[in-house]
A and B are shown apart, each in its own frame.
Chain A
Amino acid sequence: MSAETLASVNEALFDRTRGLKTPPALMALSVTAAVLLAVAAWMVFFYAPLEKEMGFVQKIFYFHVPSAWIMLLSAPLMAFGSVAYLIKRQDKYDHLSDAGVELAILFGALVLITGPLWGRKAWGVYWVWDVRLTSTLVMVLTLVACKIVRGYAGPNAKQIAAGLALLAVLNATFVYFSVDLWKGTHPPKLIQTLEPQMKQTFWLSVLAFHLAWGAMLWARLRMGKLRSALDRLHMQATEAGLDD
């Protein structure tokens, strides 16, 4: 191999590594989110009063509802990423779709863990086939399948994952909106009925969760971008004969 190609690959490598430092804004966002999450957790246990019917179990609500909101926030994100990827075939949309899928799985899992703990106390059983429970479960299950496919399907896994993410969102929406007949046992929106101290705790928790979500999304998108850059670099290096 000529010294010239080696030099050009070297230069490309140097160019890429300059982008590796964590952006200060991402750092700041992550730290703020972490601090607020800690404060929110403290407020949940020591500041917000005990609810008179449900008692201590009601405190799950401060984590359950923000998680559910964020899961719903991730859905349009991955739907957009998937549609854009299927049309334009650019990796950045695939990263967006993948990040959305992972965040929806993470927060969906939180919803599905905290929900039954609350349900055991309120309904006497962990699980009922209620509309919201079903639509959440359907979405999380499909998205997990989507991640599995992405990992094992081979060459056109990205397309398949995008299609599946889209179907998952569509399916959850279908279940959620069309089933007015389905007898819902899930509690209705009760934020208006909260005590002031409960409200403060709740909204701080919502804020903290959203910031954490933003930081994770950012970090995940950055990771995708860096990974693509690394793949390209690897290809360049192989082409230049640097495969050892």
Chain B
Amino acid sequence: MSAQVEAGAAVRAKVVARQGFLQVLRDAAEIAKKDLRVELRSKEILLTMGYFGFLVVLIFSFSFYSNDAPISAVASGILWVSVAFSGTLGLGRILEREKEGDCIRALLLSPVSRPAIYLGKTFGVLAFMVVVELVVVPAVDFFFNLRLTGEQAGLLALTLALGTIGYSVVGTLLAAMLLRARAKDVLLAIVLYPLMLPVLIVGVKATAALIAPDLPMEEFVAWVRLLAVFDIVFLVASLWIFEPLVMD
């Protein structure tokens, strides 16, 4: 009996020791690494997300055209919508996996803090989104004839990175929240898009400024700064909300 109590105390001490900020990050990286390893073996999510993103761009490219050529003015909107749509596909799957064989219970019982689990999942989603963007951006560039310069491409990467962080931060939280809900795929889309509206609007505006002929730098910086503020605000809020929401 006393051996059990001691063992329990040892585990608790271990958990307490794992509360430090760096430890949380290390645990999160471990969880993300696990998700990526699983994904690299099956490649299921990446292939479906990437291909779906490409198809969305393709569909948009023949929805908006004049004189048989796609209109490049709508390219920024299409870029973000394609990323957002294909992102939903991955978000649902990456958390759904934890439900198979009740892995989520094992994950919650393991001696890592809840913020680490949340961050780990967010890192995983982020990695998937980056791969999708590597498909979607060239596709948009190709179909809408953007001819991005090196500078524009760099700034676009920055904008997309900030937007994607915001998307993953909120998306992972919502997907985790809905993990045990009924009809969760439909519900995820319904709750995610209204909350993503600010990120999408600001992202589209920043991208539009970016591909404008004379690059209004001041305007672009202001939009990008907004994206950064959104990321920080929602990361902090999500870290707090995650724990009470997946506790039981």
B178-203 residues with Cβ-Cβ distance < 8 A to A are 178, 180-184, 187, 190-191, 194-195, 197-198, 201
A156 to B245, CA, bound (A): 9
* A157 and B181 within 8 A (CB): yes
Query: Is residue B17 within 8 Å, beta carbon to beta carbon, of the partner chain?
Result: no
From A160, A167, A178, contact of B195 by CB (8 A) = A167
The digit string for B145-175, where 1 denotes a CB below 8 A from any CB of A, is: 0000000000000000000000000100100
A2 to B233, CA, bound (A): 59
Query: Is residue A87 within 8 Å, beta carbon to beta carbon, of the partner chain?
Result: yes
Query: Is residue A152 within 8 Å, beta carbon to beta carbon, of the partner chain?
Result: yes
* A154 and B201 within 8 A (CB): no
The digit string for B195-224, where 1 denotes a CB below 8 A from any CB of A, is: 101100100000000000000000100110
| Chain B residues, CB < 8 A from A153 | 178, 181-184, 187
* B197 and A141 within 8 A (CB): yes
| Chain A residues, CB < 8 A from B233 | 170, 174
* B237 and A170 within 8 A (CB): yes
* A87: nearest chain-B partner, CB-CB: B244
A149 to B194, CA, bound (A): 13
Query: Is residue A134 within 8 Å, beta carbon to beta carbon, of the partner chain?
Result: yes
A200 to B240, CA, bound (A): 45
Query: Min CB distance, A142 to chain B, in Å?
Result: 4
- Given contacts A159-B244, A160-B245, A166-B237, whether A152 and B183 have CB atoms under 8 Å apart is yes
Q: Identify the interface centre among B178, B191, B198, B241: most chain A CB within 10 Å of its CB.
A: B191
| Chain B residues, CB < 8 A from A171 | 195, 198
A163 to B172, CA, bound (A): 13
A145 to B173, CA, bound (A): 15
* B180 and A146 within 8 A (CB): no
| Chain A residues, CB < 8 A from B201 | 129, 134
| Chain B residues, CB < 8 A from A164 | 177, 191
* B198 and A149 within 8 A (CB): no
| Chain A residues, CB < 8 A from B187 | 145, 148-149, 152-153
Give how many B residues have a beta carbon under 8 Å from the other chain's beta carbons. Answer: 30
Query: Min CB distance, B199 to chain A, in Å?
Result: 10
| Chain B residues, CB < 8 A from A159 | 177, 244-245
| Chain B residues, CB < 8 A from A155 | 180
A152 to B187, CA, bound (A): 9
* B244 and A149 within 8 A (CB): no
Query: Is residue A9 within 8 Å, beta carbon to beta carbon, of the partner chain?
Result: no
The digit string for B230-248, where 1 denotes a CB below 8 A from any CB of A, is: 1001100100010011001
| Chain B residues, CB < 8 A from A175 | 198
| Chain A residues, CB < 8 A from B7 | none
* B226 and A179 within 8 A (CB): yes
* A166 and B241 within 8 A (CB): yes
* B241 and A163 within 8 A (CB): yes
B1-19 residues with Cβ-Cβ distance < 8 A to A are none
The digit string for A125-145, where 1 denotes a CB below 8 A from any CB of B, is: 000010000100110011011
Query: Is residue A237 within 8 Å, beta carbon to beta carbon, of the partner chain?
Result: no
* A154 and B244 within 8 A (CB): no
* A168 and B195 within 8 A (CB): yes
From A145, A168, A179, contact of B190 by CB (8 A) = A145
- Given contacts A167-B170, A170-B237, whether A154 and B181 have CB atoms under 8 Å apart is yes
* B194: nearest chain-A partner, CB-CB: A141
* A146: nearest chain-B partner, CB-CB: B191
| Chain B residues, CB < 8 A from A170 | 233-234, 237
* B229 and A138 within 8 A (CB): no
| Chain A residues, CB < 8 A from B223 | 181
Q: Identify the interface centre among A134, A145, A157, A168: most chain B CB within 10 Å of its CB.
A: A145
A105 to B201, CA, bound (A): 22
* A138 and B194 within 8 A (CB): yes
- Given contacts A142-B191, A142-B194, A164-B191, whether A174 and B230 have CB atoms under 8 Å apart is yes
Query: Is residue A112 within 8 Å, beta carbon to beta carbon, of the partner chain?
Result: no
User: Measuring CB to CB, which residues of chain B are less than 8 angstroms from any residue of chain A?
Assistant: 170, 173, 177-178, 180-184, 187, 190-191, 194-195, 197-198, 201, 219, 222-223, 226, 229-230, 233-234, 237, 241, 244-245, 248
A selection of 23 A-B contacts at a CB cut-off of 8 Å is A86-B241, A134-B201, A138-B194, A142-B191, A144-B194, A145-B190, A145-B191, A153-B187, A154-B180, A155-B180, A156-B248, A159-B177, A160-B178, A160-B245, A164-B191, A166-B241, A167-B170, A167-B173, A167-B195, A174-B198, A174-B233, A181-B219, A181-B222
Kindly list the 4 A-B residue pairs having the minimum CB-CB distance in the complex, ordered from nearest: A141-B194, A153-B181, A86-B244, A142-B194
